[in-house]
Amino acid sequence: MKSLFGSILLSSILYSTATMAQPAIAADAVLEAKIEAQMAKMSLRDKLGQMVELDLRGIMTTDAKGNFIIDQHKLDSLLVNFRVGSFLNTPGPTGVPAAEWGGYIEQLQRASIKHLGIPTVFGVDENHGVTYTTDGTLMPQNINVGATFNRDIARRAAEVTAYETRACSVPWTYSPTMDLSRDARWPRCWENFGEDCLVNAEMGKAMTLGFQGSDPNHIGQKNVAVSLKHFLGYGAPVTGKDRTPSIISIQDLKEKHFAPYKACVEAGALTIMVNSGSVNYVPMHANKEILTGWLKEGLNWDGMLITDWADVNNLFGREKVAANKKDALELAVNAGIDMIMEPYDCSVVPLMEELVSEGRIPQSRIDDACRRILRLKYRLDLFDHPYQKLKDYPEFASAEHKAVSYQGALESIVLLKNEEVLPIAKGKKILVTGPNANSLRALNGGWSYTWQGNGADEILAKLAEDTANRKAKDGGPFIKPNTIYEALCKEYGADNVVLDNTISYKNDGAYYEENLVDASMSAVKQQAANADIIIACIGENSYTETPGNLTDLNLSENQRNLVKALASTGKPVVLILNEGRPRIISDIEPLAKAVVDVMLPSNCGGDALAALLSGKEDFSGKLPFSYPRTISAFNCYDYRVSEVVGTMEGSYDYSADVAFQWPFGYGKSYNTYYYSNLRCTPSEFTVDDVLTVSVDVRNAGEMNGKESVLLFSSDLVASQTPEIRRLRDFTKIDLKAGEQKTVTFSLPAKNLSFVNSQGNWVFEPGEFTLQIGDQVVKIKGK
């Protein structure tokens, strides 16, 4: 069908309840029969109890030695009275070793099966590896996974995490996080794969398959169910602060924010967690059109929707769209919520009973929610395998698992500037300074052993001490990972590396609090005089969610003063940025000879950085976000063309500009990669064609390396102001020194369509350009 503008309406990928998609996951008749048999045995209260998720810490107590233990009486009474179907989180304030996890889950399962005849489903935020398992493997945070532009890394990281999660008897994770971070101030930018919807979709899909395996009806014993989060539009708060309103156009909401979820649902994702905040002033937990309409019905998805933390309460307490808890429950459950992450109170059970008996929530909605929860439990095979034995997981925390984390860190670290100071030759005297120089907490970021990531250094040091004398048959001693300073000592010899502590973080304070021991900076300047090169490790301490909010995106004044003092010595300064979001450094960047963004590479980040700085390895990370130059320009790379306009002639100047410090997709290496011969067939196409786009890439450097190849398109004229460019595909290739390869992408022409102001997907004929590296080719849609 053609519109007035020549648009072709693409009904096949148009959301509409009238044209239901194929089921996202084909139902398994055997499992469905078991669900129905179970449902037939359940009372209303049994069903409502399944819909409740409680925090494990609410049922913990301590024994005579001060160890955390489950209060069996409390557990039994919650199960008997409220029929609770799910638990989450850690037993105490920090994570615990794998050996302890199994005991807690076994106890929960025994009690659930005894009282309900139904196993519980336990969930943990395995946001970058096994977040809350102190002796397990942590992976680089997702922003780093995005920077690798390597889907295999995402998949392997998730596979390893699933294995180690299941080794702890935990079958379900609140991961992967796929919010598009569209505002650099947002404290959760680093929890997803960056600002682009395609990168989030592809990495999210790879992780979904890595976590769950390829048969969503039968999750294996080495796999776990995912919970994609936080659906939908969480990453674009107007204020930049966590859980504050997002205002998102229908075009962006449908075309960009929804796309990663759609891709993962189609890959079999079993559960989804809802955005705690509001979009266009409608709290997502009350948004029936999006939760039920777009997601459950639009994608024909039979999975389970869980609230985020206490978000039914937030509907009345914070969002004021309900007067009290009962009204809030009515809104949320009718909108499509299946499980309520309560997390400490079971009053929702009697309240929902009242709502059902008053006809305010239909029985059919409760049955639907309960069915979806049971379906998850059957798909996870929890009835037959409610917990696992750690001994059946010999690869837990293996060297191979650590190698996956190391490779992820290595491929994610981005070289942003190098005025011929890197690599640093052996024998050089190095001064290492800055608050991030000697901190595993800072390398890991939030969700690392604790929610905010605080205590990581102490927890890891203690574990190493506690296990120092352990024999190999008992897992051997736990080796504490290296900070940046420690890794540089290993690489260059401790005699050549000096650590300065002029600025450190106050580890018992807010994430932004710092100690400055010498405001004159005279001591560090003296140290610099004896060094050949200075490595300034700057950025942020760990945080997540609301405690990570900020009021100024500029890097802290202390840290900028430190860099200025270091540069005044005339010695070359290398900036290592260790931060969850791009803190503005435009005043100090010109003072540095090299800049490397490590973001949050986790426990192997120090070693990976040392290998890159010494030239043992080459850089191959690229920015999955736009690095802003000033606080008045937060554009993402896919801004609209009218955001950059040259100076006009005449008395009015309507010029506009976009000021990136470094653009999306930017990243240097020791090698030089040349692109040539970009071609596309057919060059004149219809919406049903698949375009074959090829380019030759040559490694003109002296090292074997890896290059991420990014394909962008631009729509030259459209019925709504087009974006300057959009990423359409990417791949990462190995290229030996001197080698040339041809990279070919298959690009369905319908991917060049967009969502218009009526919320419809349309393809508009006309001219487009395709771009890879510095190569551009024009093509024409008919």
Site residues, ligand BGC (CB under 6 A): 125, 174, 229, 273, 276, 308-309, 545
- Mapped to the 3 state alphabet, what secondary structure does 185-231 carry? CCCCHHHCCCCCHHHHHHHHHHHHHHHHCCCCCCCCCCCCEEEEEEE
Given a contact cutoff of 8 angstroms between Cβ atoms, the answer to whether 576 and 538 are in contact is: yes
- In the annotation, is 55 catalytic? no
Closest CA to 199 of 172, 224, 180, 214: 180
List residues bridging with 707 in a β-sheet: 733
775: Cα separation from own chain's centroid: 31
User: How far is Cα 46 from Cα 43, in angstroms, rounded to an integer?
Assistant: 5
User: How far is Cα 113 from Cα 108, in angstroms, rounded to an integer?
Assistant: 9
Tokens found for residue 310: 């206490």
Q: Which of the 8 DSSP states describes residue 647?
A: P
Helix (H, G, I), strand (E, B) or coil at 181: coil
Closest CA to 561 of 579, 590, 587, 527: 587
Question: What proportions of the chain, in percent to the nearest 5, are helix, strand and coil?
Answer: 35, 20, 45
Q: Rank residues 180 and 596 by Cβ distance to ligand BGC and give the closer one.
A: 180
The H or E element containing residue 106 is helix 98-116
Q: Rank residues 245 and 667 by Cβ distance to ligand BGC and give the closer one.
A: 245
Q: Rank residues 602 and 714 by Cβ distance to ligand BGC and give the closer one.
A: 602
Q: Which position has the token pair 């700057």?
A: 538
Closest CA to 597 of 574, 617, 618, 567: 574
Q: What is the dihedral of CA 50, 56, 58, 60, to 10 degrees?
A: 130
We find the least distance from the C-beta atom of residue 310 to ligand BGC, in angstroms, to be 8
Rg (CA), the chain: 27
We find the least distance from the C-beta atom of residue 508 to ligand BGC, in angstroms, to be 22
The H or E element containing residue 491 is helix 484-492
DSSP string, 276-325: SSEETTEEGGG-HIIIIIIIIITTT---EEE--TTHHHHHHHTS-SSSSH
We find the least distance from the C-beta atom of residue 128 to ligand BGC, in angstroms, to be 12
We find the least distance from the C-beta atom of residue 118 to ligand BGC, in angstroms, to be 22
Q: Rank residues 308 and 723 by Cβ distance to ligand BGC and give the closer one.
A: 308
Q: Exposed, middle or buried: residue 89 (CB in 10 Å: 0-12, 13-18, 19+)?
A: buried
Q: At what angle do helices 484-492 and 605-613 cross, to 10 degrees?
A: 40
Q: Rank residues 308 and 579 by Cβ distance to ligand BGC and give the closer one.
A: 308
We find the least distance from the C-beta atom of residue 111 to ligand BGC, in angstroms, to be 22
Q: Which position has the token pair 């999660």?
A: 165
Q: Which of the 8 DSSP states describes residue 664?
A: T
Given a contact cutoff of 8 angstroms between Cβ atoms, the answer to whether 624 and 679 are in contact is: no
We find the least distance from the C-beta atom of residue 130 to ligand BGC, in angstroms, to be 14
Q: Rank residues 276 and 438 by Cβ distance to ligand BGC and give the closer one.
A: 276
Phi/psi of residue 194, nearest 5 degrees: 115, -160
Length of the chain as a residue count = 782
Given a contact cutoff of 8 angstroms between Cβ atoms, the answer to whether 698 and 667 are in contact is: no
Given a contact cutoff of 8 angstroms between Cβ atoms, the answer to whether 437 and 485 are in contact is: yes
User: How far is Cα 311 from Cα 348, in angstroms, rounded to an integer?
Assistant: 12
We find the least distance from the C-beta atom of residue 40 to ligand BGC, in angstroms, to be 33
Contacts with 746 (C-beta within 8 Å, 6 or more apart), sequence order = 690, 691, 692, 693
Q: Exposed, middle or buried: residue 647 (CB in 10 Å: 0-12, 13-18, 19+)?
A: exposed
User: How far is Cα 237 from Cα 278, in angstroms, rounded to an integer?
Assistant: 9
Q: Rank residues 339 and 497 by Cβ distance to ligand BGC and give the closer one.
A: 339
We find the least distance from the C-beta atom of residue 141 to ligand BGC, in angstroms, to be 13
Closest CA to 310 of 350, 283, 280: 283
Catalytically annotated residue among 125, 252, 308, 638:
308
Q: Rank residues 230 and 622 by Cβ distance to ligand BGC and give the closer one.
A: 230
| ∠ Cα 284 290 294 (to 5°) | 155
343: how many CB neighbours lie within 10 A of its CB? 19
Q: Which of the 8 DSSP states describes residue 531?
A: -
Q: Where are the beta strands (DSSP E) in 489-638?
A: 497-499, 503-505, 514-516, 533-539, 573-578, 594-597, 627-628
We find the least distance from the C-beta atom of residue 285 to ligand BGC, in angstroms, to be 12
Closest CA to 536 of 510, 506, 560: 560
Q: Rank residues 273 and 600 by Cβ distance to ligand BGC and give the closer one.
A: 273
We find the least distance from the C-beta atom of residue 142 to ligand BGC, in angstroms, to be 12
Q: Rank residues 174 and 673 by Cβ distance to ligand BGC and give the closer one.
A: 174
We find the least distance from the C-beta atom of residue 24 to ligand BGC, in angstroms, to be 22
Q: Rank residues 229 and 401 by Cβ distance to ligand BGC and give the closer one.
A: 229
We find the least distance from the C-beta atom of residue 276 to ligand BGC, in angstroms, to be 6
We find the least distance from the C-beta atom of residue 309 to ligand BGC, in angstroms, to be 4
Closest CA to 101 of 81, 87, 85, 82: 87
Q: Rank residues 600 and 762 by Cβ distance to ligand BGC and give the closer one.
A: 600
Q: Rank residues 264 and 576 by Cβ distance to ligand BGC and give the closer one.
A: 264
**Catalytic residue IDs:** 308
